[in-house]
Amino acid sequence: KAGVTQTPRYLIKTRGQQVTLSCSPISGHRSVSWYQQTPGQGLQFLFEYFSETQRNKGNFPGRFSGRQFSNSRSEMNVSTLELGDSALYLCASFKGGPTDTQYFGPGTRLTVL
Amino acid sequence: DQQVKQNSPSLSVQEGRISILNCDYTNSMFDYFLWYKKYPAEGPTFLISISSIKDKNEDGRFTVFLNKSAKHLSLHIVPSQPGDSAVYFCAATPGGTSYGKLTFGQGTILTVHP
């Protein structure tokens, strides 16, 4: 079965621009979580969407937003990019239950210049 | 405020020996714990998990131990193989409807020498 896919895999933007990243979960998975990985802060939770509703939220500024579509695909958007937003953005999907295995995609490497 | 800590940035072991990776947490609300392995340029891969109602869970060469009173968990890999060389992350979650919110440690780089 196909895994979690993320597009694009690499992205270069300049400060002040905005960016949209996409995540397609495994078929049948209703939950998608987003994480940011940086060398200094490690892997940090951004938000989780379940059945098109944001179910959990991390401690990131409002410039980071997301949404989920009826087919469970999810997008995250970062507005007014800052240099510190350069990171690997990972999404994970699972069926939605409290002990289901969470599967990660390969990530999108965002570089902000 | 790091709620999940992996105090050893790296670990080096010989092939065939046991690898023990450690993780400490501070948040008493954490109810479910997971270990992931990550190779460069790939997303984390799930290894094994444990609920707070258990103190041990095994899956093949991997065993996770949980000591709730000490807020400590460990991952044992026996026997270690060169293909196990990767970064290992422990993660914790309150469970329930917050299950999708994983808090990760900083990772431990495991190197298994042939």
Mean confidence (pLDDT) of chain A = 94
Q: How far apart are the first and last CA of chain A?
A: 37
Q: How far apart are CA A6 and CA A61, in angstroms?
A: 23
Residues of chain A with pLDDT under 70: 1
Q: Which residues contact A53 (CB under 8 A, 6 or more apart)?
A: A68
Look up residue B15 and give its DSSP letter.
Answer: T
Look up residue A62 and give its DSSP letter.
Answer: T
Task: Copy the structure tokens of residue A3.
Answer: 């895994």
Q: Which residues of A65-85 are buried (b: 16+ CB within 10 A; e: fewer)?
A: bbebeeebbbbbebeebeeeb
Q: How far apart are CA B19 and CA B79, in angstroms?
A: 8
Tell me whether A25 touches chain B (CB under 8 Å). no
Residue listed under structure tokens 């990760």: B104
**Per-residue tens of pLDDT for chain B, all 114 residues:** 689 999 999 999 999 999 999 999 999 999 999 999 999 888 999 999 999 999 999 999 999 999 999 999 999 999 999 999 999 999 999 988 888 899 999 999 999 999
Contact B99, B92 (CB under 8 A): no
Q: Which residue of A has its CA nearest to B47?
A: A101
Distance from CA of B43 to the nearest CA of A (A): 4
Distance from CA of A72 to the nearest CA of B (A): 15
Q: Is A33 close to B41, i.e. CB distance below 8 A?
A: no
A34-47: per-residue pLDDT in tens? 999 998 888 999 99
Which residues of chain B lie closer than 8 angstroms to A97, CB-CB? 99
Can you say how many angstroms the Cα of residue A8 is from the centroid of all Cα atoms in its chain?
Answer: 12
Nearest CB to A42 within list B42, B96, B106:
B106
